Structure 1
Amino acid sequence: MTTPARLPPGGRAQSSKQVLWSLAPSVYAPTLLEFAGLSALMPVIPLLALDLGFAAWQAAALTTVFGLTSFLGPIPAGRFISRVGARRALVSTGVLLVLSNLVAFMVLTPGVHGDPGPRHQLTFLGLLLVMAISTQVWQLGRQAYLGTALPPTMRARGMTMFGGVIRLGEVIGPLLGALVMALGSDTGVFILFAVTAAAGTVMIAIFLPPGETRPTSRRPRGERIPHSTARSRLDRAVLSRMAMVGLGIAPVMMARVNRPVIVPLLG
């Protein structure tokens, strides 16, 4: 009797690598580009705020915009992604991210190098809010796509690699931002962020398959629609648990946001 053929020991690992590499142009490379641009901007926000006439404590408070959107943004961002699909949500917010950085460069540069006023301060605050919301959609959209694109046995590895790419971007970004500032342009970090966001958006538009995470509205035959009262109770229970988790993670998010803010102010 002949024994059945076995896969080589490295066959499964090789296939796993192929799956992860196939996600590089649609998920991992855009994530690296986005976080490189965002991490280049974050340490410069308080410095630009000081140049625009904010007090030191106001400059530090500005970066809480990103922390608040991380806390309050997942629910509306998730609904937006589920309604229009991951690809369309990522491309639209990517374009918005590019435009907001270009507007920030054109509007804020005269204020930083000239006589800043309330118009520059309000513009700065509004554009930071737009960037924070767009970044939130980008993060959730790619995580949602990974949840469907990766097989269950590879999700932990894929999500871990996603987090590792974010950390790599957080290392590269400040170095690029420091290089731009060394060339004599503090507001040049907006151009840097616009370029990285544009490159990531183009990669998503080209390589991310449309409709991967868009839910279907059809129900299986025989499935009953739950009663509105029971459904509302379930929604309240889920929201209460999410609120508790959010409150627990809020101090961690605050610490993560404050880390790249306090050091530039002390410097």
Structure 2
Amino acid sequence: MHVSDRPDSPAAREVLWRFAPMIYGPTVLFALGEGAILPLIPVIAAQLGADIATAALVASALVVGQLCGNIPAGWAVARMGERLTMTAAGILSLGGVVALAFAPSLGVLAASVFLIGFCAAAFGLARHSFMTTRVPLAFRARALSLLGGTFRLGMFVGPFVAAGLLALFGDEHAAVWFFGVCLVATILLVLFGPDPEAAIAPPAPRATRTDDPEAVEDTGEPITASLRAAPTVDGRRAGVFRTMRHFRGVLARLGLAAASLAAVRSARQVVLPLWGVSIGLDAQTIALVVGISGAIDFALFYASGQVMDRFGRLWAALPAMLLMGTGFIALAFTHDTPQNAMWFAMFSAVLGVGNGLSSGILLTLGADVAPKDDPAPFLGSWRTLTDAGGAVAPLLVSAIAAVSTLSIATGAIGAIGLLGAGAFVRWVPRFIPRVRG
């Protein structure tokens, strides 16, 4: 019997606490180390002789690695399991950290950053798959929002740790070795920490099977994708690419809506600092405004999960997209106004609220529509789509601003947000049941 179906089912907090040693703790550690080195990658590249453009290219290798790592990670999780995949990703990341610390050239540095991004994708997908198959549906959104929140916590605190290490040792490589220590602790937790499966049995697969292959083909009709079986060939897993084809309707509809949310989120991190520079604010003021926006975002991560579990996924996704879409569009009209600094601060806060309300949505939607008996190949495709949306958005802002103005680029991101809101309204009710805790 599924744990959430028993009358004596443990409270959500008690169950979620059991995931701390293997899931939430390692997530904080991995993100803390990654957040510590992110601001320093361009600095280390510059020390090796890179100009501004080359340093940016080296830093972007992390995102490229994440994009390239999702689909192979789905293959690895399907065959090795979540625990071994997380362990392997941690060990390979540790190798990347050592190579990064001793990189003699820009090529080795870029390869090291790429490897870390690749392993981060594998680590993230393994966690996502584990939570998808283990967490009771009644509080899945809260569990995954907490997962997103722990990652945000690590990425938020990491740069401050790096700043402290720089002040203490005066060497950027201290943050790199700090990441290495975090990875060792992560590997040990994953390998030797208490296994949640010992306390919570995974829910029984709800897949419906049929001998007619057309009966389970994804046509885009009103269905719940999570109730359908993953495709098999001769009784064996069909693999990542056959799974992508099998669920192409979900990926092309709800997946693109999710990618639009990832794009708007990513654009926020680029547009706000650029906007502050464009209206003439000093670096300290920009950092303060962006920091307050980030604090609002972080403060709301668990509220997003509660809303999704109690009222349904759309009740978090739609307000988040509407707030961010209209926030970007409204900000676009304030550039040349006398109170542009005030409007900048206000709409930064609005975007922080919208982003906070979206915490865990992409993880939760992916878990909802993934096949329950073998989610990893599907989640690899899902995360590739969302990561691609996040990677394309900064390039889009840069391209539009280069040929027109930053205001038009900001308005374009807002339009993507509103289109994404419409896509969520259209496709969430079709593919995902109304879930209430």
| TM-score scaled by length of structure 2 | 0.48
Distance 1:208 1:130, change over 3 A: farther
| Residue 144 (structure 2) pairs with residue 159 (structure 1) | yes
User: Partners of 2:143 and 2:107 in 1: how far apart?
Assistant: 40
**Any residues of structure 2 matched to 1:77-226 within 5 Å, and which?**
77-105=73-101, 107-108=102-103, 120-182=105-167, 183-207=169-193, 209=195, 223-224=210-211, 226=213
Distance 1:150 1:211, change over 3 A: closer
Question: Structure 1 residue 169: deviation in Å?
Answer: 0.7
- Check conservation: 2:36, 2:162, Cα contact below 8 A: yes
Distance 1:250 1:61, change over 3 A: farther
What CA deviation, in whole Å up to 9, does each residue of 1:123-142 have, x standing for no partner? Answer: 00110111000011111111
1:4 corresponding residue in structure 2: none
User: Partners of 1:221 and 1:249 in 2: how far apart?
Assistant: 31
1:115 corresponding residue in structure 2: none
Distance 1:48 1:242, change over 3 A: farther
What percent of counterpart residues are identical? 26
1:49 corresponding residue in structure 2: 45
Structure 1's unaligned 5+ residue stretches are 1-10, 112-119
Supply the AA of the counterpart residue of 1:162: L
Distance 1:247 1:20, change over 3 A: closer
User: Partners of 1:33 and 1:102 in 2: how far apart?
Assistant: 17
1:23 corresponding residue in structure 2: 19
Supply the AA of the counterpart residue of 1:139: G
User: Partners of 1:136 and 1:174 in 2: how far apart?
Assistant: 21
What is the SS of the residue equivalent to 1:63? helix
- Check conservation: 1:26, 1:208, Cα contact below 8 A: yes
CA RMSD, aligned part only?
3.7
- Check conservation: 2:58, 2:109, Cα contact below 8 A: no
| Residue 76 (structure 2) pairs with residue 76 (structure 1) | no
Distance 1:132 1:254, change over 3 A: same
Distance 1:161 1:246, change over 3 A: closer
- Check conservation: 1:81, 1:141, Cα contact below 8 A: yes
User: Partners of 1:79 and 1:256 in 2: how far apart?
Assistant: 32
Distance 1:130 1:16, change over 3 A: same
Structure 2's unaligned 5+ residue stretches are 1-7, 218-230, 232-241, 277-282, 285-437
Supply the AA of the counterpart residue of 2:62: F
Supply the AA of the counterpart residue of 2:267: A
Supply the AA of the counterpart residue of 1:151: P
Distance 1:51 1:32, change over 3 A: same
Extract structure 1 runs of 4+ deviating beyond 6 A: none
Count of aligned positions: 239
